[in-house]
């Protein structure tokens, strides 16, 4: 009796940039383990296929789709493909995000535009394409007689959208911050239509995406030093991982969160609550 039984989830950024468990890969696998049929979407078809292979070996139902989600046409094709293959869309999990640490005065206009398009415009585009499909779903009546469950949107933001994390990456921080009012707007527009929208703000997580962009910033090119430095920054003494984000996403995707919308769920081991 999975928490996402009979649901169809689009997981955008379902691959992983390197070996191990990224946030999107863990979410796609966990959603499938909880009964969702998953469309695993990634710009890199091999990364999507790797995640799909794990789901299939687990006995789950999965299809892959290759798309650059900063492109409106490809995003519309993604939702069409989901409807064609599975007949509906219940969950939209927006995980795509890229980071390019650089002092503000060294950020090129091209990089600003690219990161805004990949991190922020993509989430607007996927919501714009998927919300009408969710609105076509029937309400479900929960055990208390409430009309719920036409759809759930989960947008992956970051604590760097609300706090300085020690690394200059203005493009990343600005886009991650802007995901919050985007999510809030959708939540309020759709609150009485049975569609919920929430954001997750991961803190410092040990996932493959941090290795290349951050190893020079923290560790002079040494990955182990970078990991030690980030672990030491966390009040827990260690970073979180992709599964911590995936479990928060599962909660928000499921009926356990039936009355949760417009929320900003921090998953950061307490780092954003800390003064120094």
Provide the annotated active-site residues.
Answer: 172
Closer to ligand NAP by Cβ: residue 169 or 190 = 169
Residue 96 in the binding site for ligand NAP (CB under 6 A): yes
* Nearest residue to ligand NAP, scored by beta-carbon proximity: 97
Q: Is 35 a residue that touches ligand NAP (CB under 6 A)?
A: no
- Assigned token pair, 11: 């997981």
| Of 137, 131, 162, nearest in space to 149 by CA | 137
Give CA–CA dist 139/149, Å, rounded. Answer: 6
HSE of 269, CA atoms in CB hemisphere, 13 A: 17
Tell me the closest approach of the beta carbon of residue 216 to ligand NAP, in angstroms.
Answer: 16
Residue 70 engages ligand NAP in binding (rule: CB under 6 A): yes
Nearer to ligand NAP, 64 or 95 (CB): 95
Contact 93, 11 (CB under 8 A): yes
If one asks whether residue 47 binds ligand NAP (CB under 6 A), the answer comes out as: yes
By CB under 6 A, name the one of 13, 60, 194, 269 that touches ligand NAP.
13
Q: What's CA 12's distance to the chain center, in Å?
A: 7
**Residue 69 touching ligand NAP (CB under 6 A):** yes
- The answer to whether 269 contacts ligand NAP (rule: CB under 6 A) is no
Question: Cβ of residue 24: shortest distance to ligand NAP, in angstroms?
Answer: 3
DSSP letter string, 124-158:
HHHHHHHHHHHHTSPPEE-TTS-EE-SEEEEEE--
Q: Which of 36, 29, 125 is nearest to 88 (CA)?
A: 36
Query: How is residue 223 written in tokens?
Result: 């990955």
Can you tell me which of 9, 210, 246, 266 binds ligand NAP, judged by CB under 6 A? 210
Give the H/E segment covering residue 52.
helix 45-57
The pair of three-digit structure tokens given for residue 267, joined into one six-digit string:
């998953």
When binding is defined by CB under 6 A, the residue of 8, 22, 173, 197 that contacts ligand NAP is 22
- Span interacting with ligand NAP, options 18-26, 84-92, 216-224, 256-264, rule CB under 6 A: 18-26
Nearest to 209 by CA among 30, 42, 56: 42
| Separation CA 54–CA 173 (nearest Å) | 32
By CB under 6 A, is residue 68 in contact with ligand NAP?
A: yes
Q: Is residue 17 part of the contact set for ligand NAP (CB under 6 A)?
A: yes
Nearer CB in complex with ligand NAP: 30/156: 156
Is residue 149 a contact point for ligand NAP (CB under 6 A)? no
CB 274 within 8 A of CB 21: no
Report, in Å, the least distance between residue 83 CB and ligand NAP.
19
Residues that bind ligand NAP (CB under 6 A): 13, 15-17, 22-25, 42-44, 47, 67-70, 95-98, 118, 156, 158, 202, 204-205, 207-210, 242
């Amino acid at each position: 009796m999975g928490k996402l039984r009979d649901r169809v989830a689009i997981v955008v950024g379902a691959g992983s940039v390197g070996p191990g468990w990224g946030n999107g890969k863990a979410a796609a696998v966990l959603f499938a383990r909880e009964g969702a049929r998953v469309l695993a979407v990634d710009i890199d078809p091999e990364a999507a296929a790797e995640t799909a292979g794990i789901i299939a070996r687990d006995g789950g139902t999965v299809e892959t789709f290759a798309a650059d989600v900063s492109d409106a046409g490809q995003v519309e094709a993604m939702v069409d493909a989901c409807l064609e293959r599975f007949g509906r869309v219940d969950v939209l999990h927006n995980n795509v995000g890229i980071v390019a640490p650089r002092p503000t005065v060294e950020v090129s206009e091209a990089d600003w535009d690219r990161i805004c398009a990949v991190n922020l415009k993509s989430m607007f585009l996927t919501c714009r394409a998927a919300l009408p499909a969710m609105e076509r779903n029937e309400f479900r009546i929960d055990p208390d007689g409430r009309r719920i469950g036409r759809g759930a949107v989960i947008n992956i933001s970051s604590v760097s959208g609300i706090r300085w994390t020690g690394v200059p990456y203005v493009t990343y921080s600005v886009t991650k911050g802007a995901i919050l009012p985007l999510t809030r707007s959708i939540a309020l527009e759709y609150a009485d239509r049975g569609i919920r929208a929430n954001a997750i703000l991961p803190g410092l997580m040990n996932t493959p995406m941090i290795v290349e962009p951050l190893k020079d910033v923290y560790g002079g090119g040494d990955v182990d030093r970078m990991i030690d430095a980030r672990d030491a920054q966390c009040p827990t003494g260690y970073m979180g991982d992709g599964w911590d984000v995936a479990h928060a996403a599962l909660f928000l995707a499921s009926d356990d969160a039936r009355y949760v919308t417009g929320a900003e769920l921090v998953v950061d081991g307490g780092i954003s609550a800390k003064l120094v």
